[in-house]
Structure 1
Amino acid sequence: IILRTTTSVLFVIPWGAHWIVGTTDTDWNLDLAHPAATKADIDYLLGRVNEVLVTPLTHADIDGVYAGLRPLLAGENDETSKLSREHAVARVAPGLVSIAGGKYTTYRVMAADAMDEAAQDIPARVSPSITEKVALLGADGYFALVNQTVQLAEHYGIHPYRMTHLLDRYGSLVDEVLAMAAGKPELLQPITDAPAYLQVEAVYAAAAEGALHLDDILARRTRISIEYPDRGANSAEQVAHLIAPVLGWDADDIDREVSTYQARVRAEIESQTQPDDKSADALRAAAPEPRPQLLEPVPQDR
C-alpha cells in the first residue's frame, strides 16, 4: 500500500513475516548517531494507516520500531519532505571528488557517476563502468540453488523452510555459512528467543561479516532487534556466548556486551514512549555505547 499524507509518503510493505509501515519524514536536529522514534511518530503512522485498514492496528501489534536519517541536498526549501533525494557529484579539486545526497538503493549509479568524475584526473583511458553487470555477493548461482532447496535441506539436516530462509539471506554463500556448523550440530538449532535465525548465523556474522559487538549482530547482521517484541534483549546472552570464542571474549567481555545491549534496548523502548524528539533523544543518548570511540571528542586545534 502506498499512500500520500499531508507531510510524507506512507508505505505498507510486506517483509518476511512482518509488515513495515513508514515513514514520518520529519526533521531531526539532535544526535546523528542514534535517531529516536517518539510516541508522536508512532501515533502518526498508526493514525494514517488506520484510515485505510478494515481492522485497525494498535501499539500492541508493533513488534519493533527503527528510525534512520537520510542525507539530503540543501535547497531553497527548509522542509525535508521537499528536498531532493538525488545525489550530486562534484570535482572539488584535482584528484578530489565529492559525492553528496543519494540513497542506498541507488549506490551503483552514485559510484559510477563518482568514478566518471574521477576519471578526468587519470591520464590513461578509463573503461566504462560495468557495475550494472556485476552480481551482488551471493547472487551468482542463487536460482540454481533455489531449485535444490529440498535436497540441500536434506543434506544439511534442516527443514526446507530453514534452507529457504538461508538462501534468501546469503544466496550462494549458504554453503560457507553452514560449513561453520561442521562437527557442531548444535549450531544448526535456532536461537532460543529468536527462532527465525539459526545459531550458526550469529557465529558467521562474527567470523565472516565483521561483527564486533552484540548490536552488530542483533540489529544489523540480523534483524532480531526489530522482529521480536523484546528487541533481542532475551537473545543477547545466548548470542554473546556463541560469538565469544570467535571474538576472543572472556566472561567480563560477555557480561559487558550483554548489559550494554540490554540497557540500549531499555532506553530505546522508553524513548518510544516520549512525546517529542528532545526527550526521546535524551533517553537514547544516555544509554551505554559499545563503541566508546564514537563518544570521544574530536581533537581541535587551539
Structure 2
Amino acid sequence: VRDVEDGRETDIQAGVVVNCTGVWTDELQRLSGSRGRFRVRASKGVHVVVPRDRIVAETGVILRTEKSVLFVIPWRNHWIVGTTDTDWNLDLAHPAATRNDIDYILGHVNKVLATPLTHDDIEGVYAGLRPLLAGESEETSKLSREHAVARVAPGLVAIAGGKYTTYRVMARDAVDAAVVDLPGRPPSSITDKVPLLGADGYHALVNQADHLAMQHGLHPYRVRHLLDRYGSLVHEVLQAAEGRPELLRPLEHAPDYLAAEAVYAASHEGALHLEDVLARRTRISIEYPHRGVACAEQVARLMGEVLGWSDPMITREVDVYTARVEAERDSQAQPSDEAADARRSSAPEARARLIEPVG
C-alpha cells in the first residue's frame, strides 16, 4: 500500500480483503486477476445550492422528470436542488458539473416555482458519482440502485452499488461474506445496535444547550448548531478552545462555523489539506458564493498550528485550493462533460503523489 501523502509503501497482510471502492470497483477487481462477478458504471449526479430565502416553502419537494427524480431539500440556511443522472466515463476522482447540468436542474425546478431561480442565485454546485451495478446496455437511470456482494476469489470479497442511506446493511452483508474465509465462528453482526459517534448522550445535551452556551459564552443557537454537527463530541470541539477564546469566534468569511471547528478537523478528524476542511469536514465550499476562497488563508493558518505548516506550506495550500475553485467554476460554464473534465482536471492536486488508475 502506498501512502499518497509521503510516498511510503507498506506491506499489509490480511486473511480477507473487502473491495468497497465504489466507482473504482472494476479497477480493483482487475488487480486480483479475476473477471469479477459484476461490473460497475459511474452515474454523475449534480446538485446546486441556493439561499433559503430564494424559495418560499416550508417543506421539501419531489418532482418527477423525464430522466430521473428532482429533489428540493431544505438544508440549514439553504436549499439543495438536484439531481441529474448521466453516464460518466472521464476522471473518476473529479466528476465535473457542466452548464448543461445546471441549466437542466434550474429548468425543471423553475416549472414549479413562483419566482424562478437564476444562475446568480447559486451559492454552490457539487457533483458526485453513483456506483451502479451495470448490465450490458442499460441507461444509468435504469441500472440497479441496490447493492451486491460477491466472493471474487478466495480471500477477496467485493461489494458495489447501494446508497448512503443503506450503508449499514451494506457493511453487514460485506462482513458476513468476508468472515466465511476466516477461522472460527465470528459472532453475528450488531451494527444495527451500535450508535454513531456523537449519538450517545445527544438528546440530553440538546436539553442542556442553554447551559452549555452560558458556560462557554456562546449563543444558544451556536451550541445547537455544534450539537447537530458533532453530537456529544461537542465537548471535544469546545475543549480545543480552552484558554483560547478567539477560537470560539466565527470564521471571518464563513460565520456559520467557529474557528475551533477548523482546528478540530485537523486535530481529531484526519484533515491533512485545506480542501479536506473546506469541502469535506465542513461544506463551506458550497455554502458561500466565494466557495471558501475568502476564508482559505484563515483556515489554513488554523490548520497549520496543528499540522506544523510553515508559511510556504500555508501559501501552497491556499494557492492549490484557489486553483481548484477556479477550475470548478470554469468547468461549470462548459457545455459538455469532456470540456468540463478537461478544465477541472487542469487544477493542481493537494496530494501531489496521487497514482494513476490501474490499467
1:77–1:83: 8 Å Cα contact kept in structure 2?
no
Q: C-alpha distance in 1, partners of 2:287/2:84?
A: 20
The residue number in structure 1 matching 2:339 is 279
| 1:254-273 residue CA offsets vs partner (Å, 9 max, x unmatched) | 11000110111111111111
Matched, 1:94 2:148: no
SS of the aligned residue for 2:86 comes to coil
Once the two structures are superposed, the pairs formed by residues 122-201 of structure 1 within 5 Å of their partners are 122-201=182-261
Shift of residue 14 of structure 1? 0.6
Structure 1 residues 189, 124: closer, same or farther in 2, change over 3 A?
same
| 1:6-58 residue CA offsets vs partner (Å, 9 max, x unmatched) | 11110000111101001111111111111110110000000000111111111
Question: Structure 2: which amino acid aligns with 1:210?
Answer: G
| Structure with greater proportional helix content | 1
The residue number in structure 2 matching 1:20 is 80
| 1:247-301 residue CA offsets vs partner (Å, 9 max, x unmatched) | 110010011000110111111111111111111111110011111112x44698x
Question: Structure 1: which amino acid aligns with 2:103?
Answer: D
SS of the aligned residue for 1:78 comes to coil
Shift of residue 68 of structure 1? 0.3
Q: C-alpha distance in 1, partners of 2:103/2:155?
A: 48
Q: C-alpha distance in 1, partners of 2:310/2:181?
A: 50
Single out whichever of 123-132 and 63-72 deviates more from structure 2: 123-132
| Structure with greater proportional strand content | 2
Aligned length in residues: 299
| 1:118-175 residue CA offsets vs partner (Å, 9 max, x unmatched) | 2323342222211011000000000000001101000011111100110000000000
Once the two structures are superposed, the pairs formed by residues 210-289 of structure 1 within 5 Å of their partners are 210-289=270-349
Single out whichever of 117-126 and 132-141 deviates more from structure 2: 117-126
Q: C-alpha distance in 2, partners of 1:297/1:275?
A: 27
Structure 1 residues 298, 106: closer, same or farther in 2, change over 3 A?
closer
Single out whichever of 150-159 and 124-133 deviates more from structure 2: 124-133
The residue number in structure 2 matching 1:63 is 123
The answer for unaligned runs of 5 or more in structure 2 is 1-60
Q: Decide which of 171, 179, 201 is 1:119's aligned counterpart.
A: 179
Question: Structure 2: which amino acid aligns with 1:177?
Answer: V
Q: C-alpha distance in 1, partners of 2:216/2:107?
A: 46
Single out whichever of 270-279 and 166-175 deviates more from structure 2: 270-279
Q: C-alpha distance in 2, partners of 1:136/1:147?
A: 19
Q: C-alpha distance in 2, partners of 1:101/1:279?
A: 28
Q: C-alpha distance in 2, partners of 1:167/1:136?
A: 13
Q: C-alpha distance in 1, partners of 2:321/2:292?
A: 9
Q: C-alpha distance in 2, partners of 1:166/1:298?
A: 38
SS of the aligned residue for 1:73 comes to strand
Q: C-alpha distance in 1, partners of 2:172/2:103?
A: 40
Shift of residue 78 of structure 1? 2.7
Single out whichever of 74-83 and 50-59 deviates more from structure 2: 74-83
Shift of residue 107 of structure 1? 1.3
TM-score, normalised relative to structure 2: 0.81
Shift of residue 75 of structure 1? 1.3
**Residue identity (%):** 71
The residue number in structure 1 matching 2:265 is 205
